[in-house]
Amino acid sequence: MPKRQTKSNSNSLVIILAIIAFVVTYCTRKFASDKGKDIPVKTAHKKKTSTAKKNKTEIFHENFETASPVKTNYNSEEITLSTGPWMLKDAVIGTKDEDVKLGNQSLRLRGGGSATMDFDINVTGTVTVTLKHAAYGTDDGGTWELWYSVNKGQRFLQAGDAVTTTEHTLRTSTFTISTEKTLRLRIRSADKDNGRLNFDAVSVVLSSSATSGNTPAGSEKNVTGDDDNLLLGNPTGAVAAIVSANNFLMDKGYYKLSYNRDRGTPNWVSWHVSSKDLGPMSRANDFRPDADLPESFYQVSQTSYIGSGFDRGHNCPSGDRTFSRDANEATFLMTNMIPQAPNHNQHLWANLENYTRSLVNDGNEVYVIMGSYGIGGYGAKGLKKKIDRDNITVPDHIWKVIVVIPEGNNDLKRITKDTRIIAVNTPNKNDVSTKWSAYLTTIEEIEEASNVKLLTNVPAAVRQELVKKIDNGN
């Protein structure tokens, strides 16, 4: 038995050594044949990457590379980039060595500057916006914000939080935005004391199914709901159609109005004010023409009132839109102005506007409609019926209606026969009283004098009571 076991073990050892020799020989030949070849990437990894790309479709990319000439001054100017026209304010296309960039150029903003798309991306759903940013040269950098509009530039909202940039190498920030139809972007430096900032590689990636494309600027009507600027009704049935040139509906995002082409002023302007509308923004004083008027309309400019003896009187006040720079600037469009006697504007009307905001600061929200009618007002230079080579009619009366309710939701349902109504109708004269309470009246009287119908969305039984009320002025 011991001899047989020894022989068996010897045979096993021989077999094992033969197998080892075969394996070594095969592997040596295999490695030699593979010498100089790259190790292939696993196919499973490839498939995963490919799937991810299919789920994220880039529909927009701007790298700020332009053909000459390049914008190198900080004046406000519209330039054409690869994606379309952009309006640059306190901004340039940076080409210097100090500009941080991926290619030859990048966007550079100085303190308070902005770059705004003057076109729209047609997209429905949720998108991811990314952009790269860095502090310019040796500047300390600063804080910037991404703003967006989903109603063709009528109103911009801030996307996410402000970003503070101090690094001198490009970093990436990401924002998520939802839109039902269109998207327009604005990059803005948040503080005039900021250092200069560079931006590059602005990208919009689709994260839900949609069609996309770029379209020129236009107008879009918002859906009426709580806090809507026209919640209480359309006083003259205005429509956004050229055939209705003297009752032309315009939605400026922060207020809505009926524009009168022949008078060169609004018939009325309607807006809502809550605590969300009041903030730290200073007065923009950016009076300018309204580019959204039809081309066939006379374009009232910022200089149209000069030497007339009348102020460029706001309908929707600058002070009611101080929560953002965009909101405040919107109130300086000339479609929001009327020729207003200086003392009327600066004292009587200012007192009423300040009182209105005090109501909001006390916990209320208000719906305001302001209008004017008639021909001929008395300004600093006496009676005038028309100004600006007879292109603008001077009204002889200016009225306002204010509906006051406690801040809350379901606003129409909360308006009752006991709701406070402040209605005033005033002559457009320089010798008016500074006390708005001297001109208190009823909605009925205003409707009869100016040919409007107010509060038409309020239930009829409630409206019937409200139009007859006269406030006590306290």
Q: How many helices (H) and strands (E) does the chain have?
A: 8, 24
Chain centre distance of CA 324: 9
Catalytic residue chosen out of the listed positions 314, 344, 347, 397? 314
d(CA 426, CA 352): 12
Query: How many CB atoms sit inside 10 A of residue 158's CB?
Result: 16
Q: Where does residue 445 rank: exposed (0-12), middle (13-18), buried (19+ CB within 10 A)?
A: middle
Q: What is the spatial distance between Cα 239 and Cα 247, in angstroms, rounded to a whole number?
A: 7
Closest CA to 290 of 272, 322, 312: 312
Cβ neighbourhood burial of 9 (10 Å; 0-12, 13-18, 19+)? exposed
Amino acid occupying residue 183: L
At 125 the three-state DSSP class reads: strand
- Would you give the DSSP letter of residue 70? P
How far apart (Å, rounded) are the C-alpha atoms in residues 50 and 268? 56
DSSP symbol at 262: T
344 is catalytic: no
Measured distance CA(474)–CA(472) in Å, rounded: 6
Phi, psi of 202 (to 5 degrees): -80, 120
Task: Kindly report the number of other CB atoms within 10 A of residue 40's CB atom.
Answer: 7
- Rounded to the nearest 5 degrees, what angle is found at the Cα of 297, between the Cα atoms of 247 and 395? 55
Residue 44 CB neighbour total at 10 angstroms:
7
**How far is CA 10 from each of CA 7, 19, 240, 384, 439, rounded to the nearest angstrom?**
5, 15, 103, 126, 123
What's the CA dihedral at 237, 239, 245, 248 to 10 degrees? 90
Element (H, E) at 412: helix 411-414
Helix intervals (H) in 35-105:
43-55
Q: What is the CA radius of gyration of the chain?
A: 33
* Residues written for the chain: 474
Active site residues: 314
